[in-house]
């Protein structure tokens, strides 16, 4: 297993990232989600302390009023229950809304919007107690325990510092009006919550960086995997080369089959050969039906000789047509005069031979 991991030295390709993402495997930190929930509670109580206090006071008032009233019928109990649920809902629904929004944002910030049906599918390994025990006492379990102890220690230290800061003022509370005591306690609680949130936010950032690094290491690929993926995406280079070779051979055979139909072969005479065809009334200009250099030029000349196609040596014209005109294209106007003179000469030879 270790040797297999050592082989995975290449960064994950985009396709590999998409595959693991479809399985729900992304870089994520549970600490980010946890601190997001705490931040949601802090923001909620900062903006909705008054509304929450009113809801709690209303619910408390109704309960005290109910304590002095005899609850004799089911309707009496139902009325009290409705009042309690309504008061609790007004107090808790905004908080739950904040928690939901912050939780979603925590996930979106980490890995964007993600819907992975494959990750939701039931797996036997998840229901196996032994697998769960392995995760609990394995490397990841010990790391989670270490992180939890670290969080408790840091948050406890922050609480200790905050208490130490407020300690000198505690003896004075016995001579302080209730309103000021409440303000002191609210300030004390706010400091602990805000400072703890900042510490947890820092820990979440560190944990996310570590989780991202671990994720990148986990999805690395071996050189063979990268090559195989390239072959699957682009096709096997050997197969593609073979296909191109077959296509070239077919094109060459079609070209050679057109040589006997040509009116003339214009040669270099040894390096280039260009076969020209002109059908009066069907073509606006003469057309190149075959061309080649080196061995291909030699083969064109051999086929032309076998079928009695005239061969005319004109070095500049042969090179010019070879470079400027593709097979199946009409010759450009700049070659009209030179080609017309050669065709006229060839037609004269054919008439004399006839």
Going along 189-322, which residue ranges are E strands?
264-267, 272-277, 287-293, 311-313
Would you state the structure tokens that stand for residue 250, as one six-digit string?
Answer: 């077919």
Q: Which residues have C-beta within 8 Å of that of residue 237, sequence separation ≥ 6?
A: 231
pTM given for the model: 0.52
Q: Of the CATH numbers 3.40.1690.10, 3.30.365.10, 3.40.50.720, 3.40.710.10, which one belongs to the domain with range 240-353?
A: 3.40.1690.10
Element holding 354 (H helix, E strand): none
Q: What is the pLDDT along the chain (354 residues), one digit of tens a residue?
A: 445 555 788 888 888 888 888 887 888 888 888 888 888 888 877 777 666 656 666 666 665 555 555 556 677 667 767 766 776 677 677 778 888 888 888 888 888 777 666 655 555 555 556 665 665 566 767 777 888 888 888 888 888 888 888 888 777 777 777 777 777 777 788 788 888 888 888 988 988 998 899 888 988 888 888 888 777 776 667 767 787 888 888 988 999 999 999 999 999 878 899 999 999 889 999 999 999 999 999 999 999 999 999 999 999 999 999 999 999 999 999 999 999 999 999 999 888 876
Please state the domain extents for the chain.
13-114+124-229, 240-353
Would you state the structure tokens that stand for residue 145, as one six-digit string?
Answer: 């325990």
Number of H helices, E strands in the chain: 14, 4
């Amino acid at each position: 297993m270790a040797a297999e991991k050592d082989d995975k030295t290449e960064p994950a390709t985009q396709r590999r990232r998409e595959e693991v993402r479809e399985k729900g495997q992304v870089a994520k930190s549970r600490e980010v989600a946890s601190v997001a929930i705490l931040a949601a509670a802090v923001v909620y109580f900062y903006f909705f302390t008054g509304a929450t206090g009113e809801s709690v006071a209303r619910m408390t008032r109704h309960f005290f009023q109910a304590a002095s009233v005899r609850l004799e019928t089911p309707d009496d109990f139902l009325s009290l229950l409705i009042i309690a649920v309504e008061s609790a809902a007004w107090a808790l629904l905004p908080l739950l809304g904040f928690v939901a929004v912050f939780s979603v944002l925590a996930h979106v910030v980490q890995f964007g919007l993600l819907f992975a049906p494959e990750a939701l599918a039931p797996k036997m390994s998840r229901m196996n107690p032994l697998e769960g025990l392995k995760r609990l006492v394995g490397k990841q379990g010990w790391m989670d325990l270490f992180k939890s102890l670290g969080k408790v220690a840091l948050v406890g230290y922050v609480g200790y510092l905050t208490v130490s800061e407020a300690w000198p003022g505690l003896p004075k509370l016995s001579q302080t009006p209730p309103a000021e005591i409440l303000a002191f306690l609210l300030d004390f609680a706010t400091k602990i919550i805000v400072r703890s949130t900042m510490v947890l936010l820092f820990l979440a950032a560190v944990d996310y960086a570590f989780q991202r690094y671990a994720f990148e290491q986990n999805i690395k690929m071996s050189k063979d995997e990268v090559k195989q993926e390239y072959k699957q995406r682009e096709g096997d280079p050997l197969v593609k080369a073979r296909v191109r070779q077959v296509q070239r051979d077919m094109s060459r055979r079609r070209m050679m089959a057109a040589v006997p139909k040509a009116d003339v072969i214009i040669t270099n005479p040894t390096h280039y050969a260009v076969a020209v065809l002109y059908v009066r009334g069907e073509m606006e200009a003469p057309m190149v039906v075959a061309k080649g250099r080196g061995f291909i030029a030699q083969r064109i000349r051999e086929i032309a000789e076998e079928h009695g196609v005239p061969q005319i040596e004109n070095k500049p014209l042969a090179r010019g047509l070879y470079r400027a005109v593709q097979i199946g294209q009409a010759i450009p106007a700049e070659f009209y005069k030179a080609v017309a003179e050669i065709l006229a000469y060839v037609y004269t030879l054919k008439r004399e031979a006839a």
